[in-house]
Amino acid sequence: MTSIAPVSAPRAAVCVIANEVLTGKTLDTNSNFIAKLMFRRGVDLKRVVVIPDEEDAIIKTVKELSDFVGPSGYVFTTGGIGPTHDDITYESIAKAFGVGVELHEPTFAAMKKFGEEKYPSIPFDDSVKRMAILPVGCKLLASSGWTPIAVVHNVYILPGIPSMVKNMLTCNEEHFVGVPIHRVITGTRDTSFNTRLTVEGRDAEEVKQVGDKLIELFSGKIADPSAAV
């Protein structure tokens, strides 16, 4: 009899790039959102790292995480994209993979159009323009705003603003493919024992067996699974 090894889920890691998080000025909520998204998509989030806005730290950490999750995995960076001098994420990740950076004209055009409509009094100088200077050869995942997700190998570069992170990842949720989570939910018939038991796992047969065992152990008090996903 031939046994089939269970399929392992792809790995993910988050690299939060923010001096403000390290000093306690800002609370990181992006990694929590990404963790929930990865769980929903059947991807195993294995690491969350917080580092300063420093080129050497970004290069070293991104390379390590990229190797750790492997070609089928996902590394998400948040922060360090903007018009100020310490917004160096694009350049640093480009250096990590040995590529240059260049102005991405479609992104710049979309950014300029958005800025002229939303903030007409703010001049479009070089500091603003640098937000559209992306790693050469990166792939782009569109969002509902002007900012795309730049992808270099298995690294997905995101801003630090939580609302933008949520928007950009929600627009591209189907892009992240893992191993589905199977779920069995059981309810109780006894109103004095009002609770719900949930069994979750990636092996559908094992999940079913555990659910059946619960029904057997709590015979008469627990209902058949009310839902299976």
pLDDT in tens, 41-51: 999 999 999 99
Q: Are 122 and 28 in a shared domain?
A: yes
pTM (two decimals):
0.79
Q: Are 164 and 95 in a shared domain?
A: yes
Beta pairing class for 11-17 and 44-51: parallel
Q: Which CATH number does the domain housing residue 115 bear?
A: 3.40.980.10
Q: Are 128 and 16 in a shared domain?
A: yes
Q: Are 94 and 152 in a shared domain?
A: yes
What's the domain range around 65? Answer: 11-175
For 4-60, the pLDDT digits (tens) are 445 689 999 999 999 999 999 999 999 999 999 999 999 999 999 999 999 999 999
> HSE (CB half, 13 Å, CA atoms) of 152?
26
Amino acid sitting at position 7: V
Residue 21 included in any domain: yes
Q: Are 85 and 136 in a shared domain?
A: yes
Q: How many domains is the chain built from?
A: 2
Quick one: DSSP state of residue 46? E
Sequence-distant (6+) residues with CB within 8 A of 18 are 26, 28, 50, 52, 53, 78, 79, 80, 160
Give dist(CA 20, CA 52) in Å, integer: 8
